[in-house]
Structure 1
Amino acid sequence: MSEPRAQLPTDPPETVLADTDWHDPGQTARALPEALRRFARPDRLAGLLRTARTDPRLLGLSEVRPWGNRMVLHEDPRSGARLRLQHWAGGDQDPHGRPHNHRWAFASTILHGSYVHRLYGDVPDVERRLAHGPALPLTERTESVGSLYVLAPEAVHSATAAAGTVSLLLRGPSVGAYAVRLNRDLTAFAERKSGIAHERRDDLPVRPFTTADADALAALLSGLSVLA
């Protein structure tokens, strides 16, 4: 007799996010992956894409970058948490390949493709190790379809994606003033990042994200049988 298929959660993801204390690591680590699982239901994902494709605010938060596109599908009005669909082009231009942290905690899952994920410890630990030489990764693993993980704001990591990889990321509100990124030889924190408004001209999105870009992502996901 076959095992019954596990049921995907049906309650709205916002119910998980509503009462989360984003400065409490334990609450954040529980809420983000649970909400992400609910957002990732194929039918719910398809509905979010249909709504976001013509939402001026969500399109304005989405980005066309040299290393890929990222589309904001939802912004929770109470918490400020955002759900983002990321299509990775891969290649040397992708800054995610350099170790960095974020101003916010996040959970991420892979819908298609894979990436090599390296973990370096938290920012204070990396700073201590830099006094003795390059900061090498403590852990390396491959995130593939179905992988789901959560990282705290102070966690330093890097990701090198296979071209065409698609991931779904749910980030909490910003709890830090800035994030940091290591230089290419891993010997020092070379950059502080505090959001798109403060990026250098060369780092800004290539052009505005449009409904046509959203439709291209929806067609891609449909072709990959990710949507209901």
Structure 2
Amino acid sequence: MIDTPPSTLTAVPAGAHAFLREVTGTRPGRGEADLPWLRTIARHVQDSPDVFLSWLEEILGDEEAVRAAAKRSYWHPNGFAKMVLHASPDFRIRLHVWPESAEPSRGESNPHSHRWEFASAIVAGEGLHMVEFHETADGGKPYDRYRYGSDPANPAALLADGGARLAVDKTPHVRLGDVYSCDTAVVHTVRPIAAGLTATVVIQGPHRTSTTVVYCEPGESDDQPNGELTETDFRVLVGAVAEAVASCR
């Protein structure tokens, strides 16, 4: 259990699983799910795998929970599943899963930022390789810059926003036992270190900005739609992650 002064406690959903009760019970307040708190929850996932595993198993045993989670989840165009396990106005808990593949370099190849802060913990696989970038006037590599979230009629569309050059800031590796955190200013790419099943739990805060940036290499198509994630996909992927978490205990 995460120790928190009584003054910070918020309402706990009736019938919530122990993991969600602990997460909700430490939340500082609506709209205040800041980066230190997100890191605390990601660390809790790492430190209490049994509680997190029990929550995954409870979700899989509840048809309505599976149906609701699958409906708000999707396949990212770069080949991994973004599954939303819990959604509330001020924070979300997502499970990102890269299925086993013969291609270890798969991942989010387009440098991008986020409209929200997050912290993540590896729960299956060897981990993730990150590259963090910054825009520069000299040197670097040329990209076409796009804005994501700028089109009210199609929030997932990428709208052209000129050109940019990106230089590498650092290349962190995030492995089992590590917590990675990111604010809205960070531009990065993400890929699994190895070709086996890789999964990370992402604790996402509220939106801080209305748009974010995505960079594509010159000539690369900006038509990168999300794919449908079925209830069967959800069950198979979450089941595989649950099995991996159980084997690491």
TM-score (norm 2): 0.66
Q: Report the counterpart of residue 97 of structure 1 in structure 2.
A: 109
Aligned mate of 1:9, from 2, 11, 22? 2
Name the CA distance, whole Å, in 2 between partners of 1:37 and 1:142: 17
Report whether the alignment pairs 1:141 with 2:172: yes
Q: Report the counterpart of residue 97 of structure 2 in structure 1.
A: 87
RMSD: 2.9
Cα pair 1:103 1:153 within 8 Å, conserved: yes
1:214/1:46 Cα in 2 relative to 1: closer, same or farther (>3 Å)?
A: farther
Q: In percent, how many aligned pairs have the same letter?
A: 20
Name the CA distance, whole Å, in 1 between partners of 2:179 and 2:111: 20
Q: Report the counterpart of residue 116 of structure 1 in structure 2.
A: 129
Structure 1 residue runs of 5 or longer lacking an equivalent are 1-7, 192-199
- For residue 217 of structure 2, give the secondary structure of its aligned residue in structure 1: coil
Cα pair 1:49 1:214 within 8 Å, conserved: no
Report whether the alignment pairs 1:45 with 2:52: yes
The structure richer in helix per residue is 1
How far did 1:49 drift?
Answer: 2.1
Name the CA distance, whole Å, in 2 between partners of 1:94 and 1:177: 28
> What pairs up with 1:46-195 in 2 under 5 angstroms?
46-53=53-60, 54=63, 55=65, 56-65=67-76, 67-75=79-87, 77-79=88-90, 81-89=91-99, 91=103, 96-111=108-123, 112-121=125-134, 126=135, 129=136, 131-134=137-140, 135-161=166-192, 162-163=194-195, 164-184=197-217
Q: Report the counterpart of residue 41 of structure 2 in structure 1.
A: 35
TM-score (norm 1): 0.71
Q: Deviations over 1:154-202 (max 9, x none)?
A: 21111122332111111111121111112226xxxx97xxxxxxxx5x4
Q: Report the counterpart of residue 209 of structure 1 in structure 2.
A: 230
Cα pair 2:116 2:209 within 8 Å, conserved: yes
Name the CA distance, whole Å, in 2 between partners of 1:214 and 1:48: 15
Cα pair 2:56 2:242 within 8 Å, conserved: no
Q: Report the counterpart of residue 3 of structure 1 in structure 2.
A: none
- For residue 207 of structure 2, give the secondary structure of its aligned residue in structure 1: coil
The structure richer in strand per residue is 2
Name the CA distance, whole Å, in 1 between partners of 2:179 and 2:38: 10
Number of residue pairs aligned between Structure 1 and Structure 2: 193
